[in-house]
């Protein structure tokens, strides 16, 4: 891999655009709030400006673009963009038209981090792993034999839609018993507002928890119960060697990891109790934009290698 590339990570809360070098260092970064934009045209016009800002020397010619959507190589149009509705129905060619001077590679936003962590991060020692992000929403990337799993229709890893509870003890407007409606950053924020009125935030909820507030203790303990149920289901379904976790909820409250491990151990088959392994992402809160950049670096290298191999005559019989 040589040269620098642009990584674009479009999330439900933040948009991050960065210049990433061949050593996976984030050289420059620009950010914006996703909610600032009313439609896809506004959003991508601003992303183009952010791209020009971080690529001020015009040294990068490739973009890795990570989107919070189901994705596989045959995807031509965006569907089920639940966290960014203005993307719904947008075609890949329309997105590419905003970046005519760049070679653009696309992937699901969580998958790029799963690939990054598998190749260079917390799960590089393992062939089978999962990366899970707990931020505005919840998603995952599944690695099998060091390759990302997309599934037949690009929906592999959409664990936020898993039904994990039939309890009505949730005050989020998203409640339907799914992992995302019960354990995402948005769900925690809604719980906090229910407890502490308009001043409620996810950060305040965790502060109250640390202060021993009984209501906050109950909410976080239920969160651990729900999230560990998801981990137990996933380990007994997909059997990864390790779960790598990231996103703002976990990164800012890393002590949750041990609580989830201990709870999950009580919910798995006996021989799996000592195999519940959950570790923190190596690349932190910039994992998405670095992962998007790595997508461009890795794919461009694979394309270059393919072109070189096509030019070599194979004399073997």
As a CATH number, domain 5-108+284-310 is 3.30.420.40
Hey, which bits of 117-183 come out as E strands?
A: 129-134, 138-144, 147-148
CA distance 195 to 200: 7
Q: Do domains 5-108+284-310 and 122-280 have the same CATH topology?
A: yes
Beta carbons within 8 Å of 43's beta carbon, 6+ residues apart: 10, 15, 34, 37, 86
What does the pLDDT read at residue 3? 87
Least confident of 57-71, 77-91, 143-157, 164-178: 164-178
Could you tell me what percent of the chain has a pLDDT over 70? 92
The model's pTM is: 0.91
- The DSSP result for 122-190, as a single string, is TTTT-SSEEEEEESSSEEEEEEETTEE---SSS-TT-GGG-B---------TT-SSBHHHHHSHHHHHH
Determine whether 12 is exposed, middle or buried from the number of CB atoms within 10 Å of its CB (0-12, 13-18, 19+): buried
What does the pLDDT read at residue 254? 98
Q: Which residues pair with 243 in a beta bridge?
A: 130, 278
The stretch 93-105 carries a mean pLDDT of: 97
What does the pLDDT read at residue 297? 97
* pLDDT, tens digit (0-9, with 9 covering 90-100), for 224-243: 999 999 999 999 999 999 99
What does the pLDDT read at residue 199? 87
- Extents of the domains making up the chain: 5-108+284-310, 122-280
* pLDDT, tens digit (0-9, with 9 covering 90-100), for 261-273: 999 999 999 999 9
Confidence of residue 315 (pLDDT cuts 50, 70, 90): very low
77 secondary structure, DSSP code: B
What does the pLDDT read at residue 40? 97
* pLDDT, tens digit (0-9, with 9 covering 90-100), for 12-41: 899 999 999 999 999 999 999 999 999 999
Tokens standing for 235? 């380990």
Whether pLDDT at 172 is above 70: no
Tell me, letter by letter, the H, E, C secondary structure of 249-262.
HHHCCCCHHHHHHH
CA distance 134 to 256: 12
What does the pLDDT read at residue 173? 44
Whether pLDDT at 313 is above 90: no
**Of 6, 9, 3, residue with least CA distance to 103:** 6
Whether pLDDT at 303 is above 90: no
- Name the CA dihedral angle for 267, 269, 275, 281, rounded to a multiple of 10 degrees: -40
The reply to whether CATH 3.30.420.40 applies to domain 122-280 is yes
Look over the chain and give the mean of its residue pLDDT values, rounded to a whole number: 92
CA distance 36 to 21: 29
Judge contact between 259 and 217, C-beta under 8 A.
no
The stretch 248-256 carries a mean pLDDT of: 97
Quick check: helix, strand or coil at residue 41? helix
Inter-axis angle of helices 202-210 and 214-237, nearest 10: 110
Whether pLDDT at 171 is above 50: no
273 secondary structure, DSSP code: G
Whether pLDDT at 294 is above 80: yes
CA distance 115 to 123: 9
């Amino acid at each position: 891999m040589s040269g620098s590339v642009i990584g674009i990570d479009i999330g439900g809360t933040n948009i991050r655009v960065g210049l990433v070098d061949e050593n996976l260092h984030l050289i420059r970064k620009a950010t914006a709030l996703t909610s600032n934009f009313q439609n896809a045209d506004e959003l991508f016009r601003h992303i183009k400006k952010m791209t020009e800002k971080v690529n001020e020397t015009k040294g990068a010619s490739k973009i890795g673009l990570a989107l919070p959507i189901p994705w596989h190589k045959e995807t031509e149009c965006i569907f089920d963009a639940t966290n960014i509705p203005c993307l719904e129905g947008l075609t890949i060619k329309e997105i590419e038209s905003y970046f005519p001077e760049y070679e653009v590679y696309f992937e699901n936003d969580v998958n790029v981090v799963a690939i990054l962590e598998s190749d260079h991060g917390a799960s590089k020692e393992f062939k089978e792993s999962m990366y899970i992000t707990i931020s505005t929403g919840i998603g995952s990337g599944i690695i099998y034999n060091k390759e990302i799993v997309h599934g037949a229709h690009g929906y592999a890893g959409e664990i936020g839609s898993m039904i994990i509870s039939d309890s009505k003890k949730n005050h989020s407007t998203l409640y339907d018993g799914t992992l995302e409606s019960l354990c995402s950053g948005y769900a925690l924020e809604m719980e906090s507002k229910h407890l502490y009125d308009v001043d409620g935030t996810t950060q305040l909820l965790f502060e109250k928890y640390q202060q021993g507030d009984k209501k906050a203790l109950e909410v976080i303990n239920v969160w651990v119960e729900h999230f560990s149920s998801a981990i137990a289901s996933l380990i007994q379904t997909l059997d990864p060697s390790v779960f790598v976790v990231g996103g703002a909820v976990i990164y800012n409250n890393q002590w949750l990891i041990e609580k989830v491990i201990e709870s999950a151990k009580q919910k798995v088959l006996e021989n799996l109790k000592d195999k519940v392994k959950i570790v923190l992402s190596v690349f932190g809160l910039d994992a998405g934009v670095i992962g998007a950049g790595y997508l461009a670096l890795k794919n461009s290298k694979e394309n270059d290698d393919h072109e070189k191999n096509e030019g070599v005559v194979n004399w073997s019989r």
